[in-house]
Amino acid sequence: MGSVARAAGVAAAAALVVVVALASVATAQMESCNGELPPVLAANYSGLACQPVWNNFVLRYHQDKNNVLRVVLSTMYSTGWVGIGFSRDGLMIGSSAMVGWIGKKGLPHIRQFALRGKTSSKVVVDRGFLVSNDHDHTVVVQQAKIYLAFQLKFSYRLTHQHIVMAFGNSIPVKNKLTRHQDKTSFTFDFTTGKASVDGSFPYGLRRAHGALNVFAWGVLMPIGAILARYFRRMDPLWFYLHVGLQFVGFIIGLAGVVAGVALYNKVQADIPAHRGLGIFVLFLGILQVLAFFLRPSPDSKYRKYWNWYHHWAGRLALFFASVNIVLGIHVGGADSSWKIGYGFNLAVILVAVIALEFMLWTRWSKNSTPTPTY
């Protein structure tokens, strides 16, 4: 009975600890807007409306009758930079941001940046469309929180405004921002204090670009290549299936490229590796289509050279296409379903190729005859 009582006591204590921890978390969340501002900000930034907006980011704001917007953005901070951008269309490119940080010497910094691209060279300090007075800007760190306080003058009254937020873990050097650690975008209603997911980013176009290319280069064309190498005994069915699948795959992949170009024109994503590989794979695909129309007859002396070119160009195209699909899933921030789905598809194809290749070499060793050309 004593051991049972001790066990019950331990369980009760553990439950009490969990309850207290949950209560502490809930209290901390509720106090995100109830906490006092640092004393240095109290004079100019008291009486602001307050709204938690993202992770532990809290936005305090007030817009007066002269369309002057007072803002205090706060979040947890140890090092690096924190920024809030005002966008005309919901995209990062073309927006202007107020960014604050504590320098390596402990001095506070807050500057406006024009976000003209996604590379450091295109994030230009002291440029942008925000109208402000530098003397009204303040950065304060207190109790592991950073507070960015600034005032902006608008020619109109803000209602629904596209907002971009981001933070980075590295301290800017010579006003050069490093790549962000995380970011978000949303529409904030300065009249009601409500934030909603920004629908301006072309998520549908990004999904179409990815889905079309995965289906074309990751499913149809590998199956077409498998038919051409391992099922030539089913003549001429293999040939018609091979040509049909590759042609349909190329058309779908071309549609994916068109979607990718449209996506790039909208967001100006700076992903040279993904774009460069895509252009190279498309070039190889076009060569394969041309090769079909320039195919010599089976008894031509040039047929072996054509076979060599067609086989290896196709293999290179499929290899680099698979690499680019993985790269695209990564840089596109796709969720786990894309990674698991394509990973499973790639694993099935690789296992099938290994098994069929083993069977093919076994058959060749028994028959000692070369495979026919096509």
Annotated ligand binding at 242? The verdict is yes
Sign of CA dihedral 235, 238, 241, 243: negative
CB 207 within 8 A of CB 184: no
3-state class (DSSP) for residue 256 = helix
- For residue 104, give the 3-state DSSP assignment: coil
Closest CA to 195 of 45, 49, 35: 49
310 annotated binding-site participant: yes
List of residues 6+ apart from 12 with CB closer than 8 A: none
One-letter amino acid at 152 equals L
Alpha carbons within 13 angstroms on the beta-carbon side of residue 275 total 13
Q: Is 162 annotated for ligand binding? A: no
**DSSP, residue by residue, 172-185:** -BTTBPPPPSEEEE
**Cβ distance 94 to 84 under 8 Å?**
no
**209 labeled binding residue:** yes
Residues at the binding site for heme b are 209, 242, 274, 310
Residues at the binding site are 209, 242, 274, 310
